[in-house]
């Protein structure tokens, strides 16, 4: 039976409450990094760490880790979560520099606050500390998973930059980009959670696939939100992807079903995307080809695959919360 639908933000708040003790321990580990940092770095890190995100990755890790028959050591879970969150934060600091973003989570971005040079180095320091969080982990697989997730994330970001403005981007290249820049870290969090839960190799691999499907769906929904599709109550700047020359899934579906004249018209509009009224024209053309509906259906397909795996996990309150998270993802902008 399909789980009852609820808004994603509500479900996420419930999930965080269920693993609140673990997340509080994670915060202590993260702020310990700032406390132990050299002068000139610690103060900046503390300011950065105060700007808490949604903790989606660490919440998922905690839920999976708690869903086994034996409860894991809370400190192991907290250090793994801190590693995941710090790696994510380091990538955001660097992304904001690349994208020229001025505001993140309602406050000035690191490079706007401290200058580009310092922000790059702060991002590097956070990345280094992410690895330090799991260096003493008794399962040697966990530091390797975090390191490989970092590799894929960086490779995905580089591929996205290389393909910026490429109107001939293929579906396969798009998949490689989002698998790297978004899905890899969520898959890594799920894999680590499964190891900490004491699952066997097959179930660990299934959890990683589950995280990957969820991550891909998450990014597709993000692509849709950038056009304002489904973002009624979301405080999110629109059309940033177009402004940065990023060709995302709705445009791929448009090009896939267009003739040469339609393609040329769309390419001309994309070149003028920063002009008033142009993004709205692009949206109208995408709607004519059902591009948004096709992209949402693609996201839903990945969510259903993630749900199928989640429903095979040992039954518990934690598993039920994972299922609710996946079920509500397509309402993330409501």
* CATH number listed for the domain at residues 8-331: 1.10.600.10
Task: Tell me what pLDDT residue 292 has.
Answer: 96
What is the rounded average pLDDT of the residues 198-224?
A: 97
What is the rounded average pLDDT of the residues 142-169?
A: 96
What is the rounded average pLDDT of the residues 299-316?
A: 97
What is the rounded average pLDDT of the residues 80-109?
A: 93
Task: Tell me what pLDDT residue 99 has.
Answer: 86
Residue-averaged pLDDT of the chain: 93
- Residue 5 pLDDT > 70: no
CA neighbor of 242 nearest in space, from 180, 213, 285, 183? 285
How do the domains of the chain map onto residue ranges? 8-331
The residue whose two tokens read 């001025």 is: 102
Task: Tell me what pLDDT residue 274 has.
Answer: 86
* H helix runs in the chain, sequence order: 8-18, 20-35, 42-49, 56-65, 74-99, 110-114, 116-132, 141-162, 171-178, 184-196, 201-226, 240-243, 249-256, 260-271, 278-288, 291-310, 317-328
Which DSSP letter does residue 104 get?
E
26, exposed or middle or buried, with CB in 10 Å at 0-12, 13-18, 19+? buried
- Residue 48 pLDDT > 90: yes
- Residue 69 pLDDT > 60: yes
- Residue 330 pLDDT > 90: no
The residue whose two tokens read 């904001």 is: 96
Determine if residue 42 is left, alpha or beta; phi over 0 gives left, psi from -120 to 50 gives alpha, anything else beta.
Answer: alpha
Task: Tell me what pLDDT residue 169 has.
Answer: 96
Q: What whole-number distance in Å separates Cα of residue 263 and Cα of residue 254? A: 8
Kindly give, in sequence order, each residue whose CB lies less than 8 Å from that of residue 68, ignoring residues fewer than 6 positions away. 196, 197, 198, 199, 314
- Residue 3 pLDDT > 60: no
What is the rounded average pLDDT of the residues 17-46?
A: 97
The packing angle between helices 278-288 and 260-271, to 10°, is 150
Q: What is the CA 157 to chain-centroid distance, rounded? A: 13
Span 256-282, pLDDT tens digits: 999 999 999 999 999 998 899 999 999
- Residue 236 pLDDT > 50: no
pTM (predicted TM-score): 0.94
pLDDT band (50, 70, 90) for residue 138: very high
pLDDT band (50, 70, 90) for residue 235: very low
Task: Tell me what pLDDT residue 233 has.
Answer: 44
- Between 7 and 307, the higher pLDDT residue: 307
- Residue 106 pLDDT > 90: no
Task: Tell me what pLDDT residue 17 has.
Answer: 97
Q: At 103, is the secondary structure helix, strand, or coil?
A: strand
- Residue 231 pLDDT > 70: no
What is the rounded average pLDDT of the residues 202-212?
A: 98
- Residue 234 pLDDT > 60: no
pLDDT band (50, 70, 90) for residue 4: very low
């Amino acid at each position: 039976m399909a789980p009852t639908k609820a808004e994603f933000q509500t479900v996420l708040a419930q999930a965080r409450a269920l693993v609140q003790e673990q997340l509080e321990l994670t915060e202590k580990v993260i702020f310990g990094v700032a406390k132990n940092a050299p002068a000139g770095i610690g103060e900046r890190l503390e300011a950065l760490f105060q700007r808490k995100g949604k903790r989606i990755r660490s919440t998922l890790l905690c839920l999976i880790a708690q869903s086994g028959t034996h409860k894991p050591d809370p400190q192991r879970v907290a250090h793994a979560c801190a590693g995941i969150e710090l790696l994510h934060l380091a990538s955001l600091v660097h992304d904001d520099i690349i994208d020229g973003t001025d505001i993140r989570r309602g406050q000035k971005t690191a490079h706007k606050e401290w200058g580009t040079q310092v922000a790059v180095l702060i991002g590097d320091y956070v990345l280094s500390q992410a690895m330090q969080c799991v260096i003493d982990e008794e399962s040697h697989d966990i530091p390797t998973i975090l390191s490989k997730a970092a590799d894929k994330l960086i490779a995905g970001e580089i591929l996205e930059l290389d393909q910026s403005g490429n109107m001939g981007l293929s579906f396969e290249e798009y998949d490689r980009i989002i698998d790297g820049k978004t899905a890899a870290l969520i898959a890594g969090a799920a894999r680590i959670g499964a190891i900490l839960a004491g699952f066997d190799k097959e179930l660990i691999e299934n959890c990683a696939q589950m995280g990957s499907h969820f991550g891909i769906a998450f990014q597709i929904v993000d692509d849709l939100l950038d056009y304002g599709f489904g973002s009624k109550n979301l405080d999110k700047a629109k059309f940033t992807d177009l402004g940065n020359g990023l060709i995302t899934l709705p445009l791929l579906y448009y090009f896939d079903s267009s003739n040469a004249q339609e393609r040329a018209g769309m390419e001309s509009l994309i070149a003028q995307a920063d002009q008033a009224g142009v993004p709205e024209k692009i949206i109208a053309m995408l709607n004519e080809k059902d591009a948004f509906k096709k992209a949402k259906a693609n996201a839903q397909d990945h969510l259903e695959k993630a749900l199928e795996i989640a429903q095979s996990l040992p039954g518990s309150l934690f598993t039920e919360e994972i299922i609710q998270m996946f079920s509500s993802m397509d309402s993330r902008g409501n």
